[in-house]
């Protein structure tokens, strides 16, 4: 796995510095180059959270991925570029029938302030959002972060899908659901995990 191959896959030719400008540029480049894709889930294929296999699928085979793959790969790339990255467990559509706790992987990047980073949320934000309660506007879309005790709630823009909630407790990639399993979409859900 080479950072240069990943950067070529997302079409990024800018400088690599551990700052918010680079983080924003990498986040945007990833989202514009690599589609959210959950075909393997719908086809009942065996899933893996092995970084090398994710790299092969998304970078070498030029496919897309679902949240665990996209954010797992992005975390690897950010770390390879010198960023401090924490994997966090999120839950999309909490309280809905068939929803699995920790069904979404998000990232926290520590810079001059912490940033919520997510390149694997179907129709989410285009650039990292500062981890601060309140509204965050990007490209005319209004997102919001709300804090309730140790839990944070991300509210997607009004035309987007559901948001998610999360805590700041770190989690290893291999600890997320889906490792070594075939994952099926809950009946009537219409989409797989984000």
At 42-98, the pLDDT tens digits run: 888 888 889 999 999 999 999 999 899 999 999 999 999 999 999 999 988 766 666
CATH topology for the 3-175 domain: Arylamine N-acetyltransferase fold (3.30.2140)
Does position 193 have pLDDT exceeding 60, yes or no? no
Q: How buried is residue 74: exposed, middle or buried, by Cβ count under 10 Å (0-12/13-18/19+)?
A: buried
115-173 pLDDT per residue, tens? 999 999 877 899 999 999 999 999 888 999 999 999 999 998 776 667 899 999 999 88
Q: Which pLDDT does position 174 carry in this prediction?
A: 83
Catalytic residue among 27, 30, 67, 136: 67
Told to judge if 104 belongs to the known catalytic residues of this protein, a careful annotator would answer yes
Residue 110 pairs in a beta bridge with 84, 114
Catalytic residue among 27, 30, 118, 165: 118
| Residue 22: pLDDT over 50 | yes
- Domain parsing of the chain, residue ranges: 3-175
Residue 27 is a catalytic residue: no
Tokens of 64: 């897309």
pLDDT at residue 34 is higher than 90: yes
DSSP reduced 3-state for 86: strand
| Active-site pick, 30, 104, 136, 157 | 104
Least confident of 19-33, 98-112, 141-155: 98-112
């Amino acid at each position: 796995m080479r950072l240069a191959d990943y950067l070529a896959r997302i079409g990024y030719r800018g400088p690599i510095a551990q700052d918010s400008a680079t983080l924003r540029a990498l986040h945007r480049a990833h989202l514009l180059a690599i589609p959210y894709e959950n075909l393997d889930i719908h086809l009942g294929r065996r899933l893996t959270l092995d970084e090398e296999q994710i790299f092969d699928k998304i970078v070498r085979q030029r496919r897309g991925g679902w949240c665990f793959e996209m954010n797992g790969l992005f975390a690897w790339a950010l770390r390879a570029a010198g960023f401090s990255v924490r994997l966090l467990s999120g839950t999309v559509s909490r309280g809905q029938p068939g929803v699995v706790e920790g069904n979404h992987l998000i990232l926290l990047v520590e810079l001059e302030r912490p940033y919520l980073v997510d390149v694997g949320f179907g129709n989410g934000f285009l650039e990292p959002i500062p981890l601060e309660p309140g509204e965050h506007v990007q490209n005319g879309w209004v997102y919001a972060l709300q804090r309730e005790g140790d839990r944070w709630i991300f509210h997607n823009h009004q035309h987007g899908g559901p948001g998610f909630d999360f805590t700041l407790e770190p989690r290893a990639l291999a600890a997320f659901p889906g490792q070594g399993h075939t994952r099926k979409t809950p009946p009537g859900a219409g989409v797989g995990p984000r």
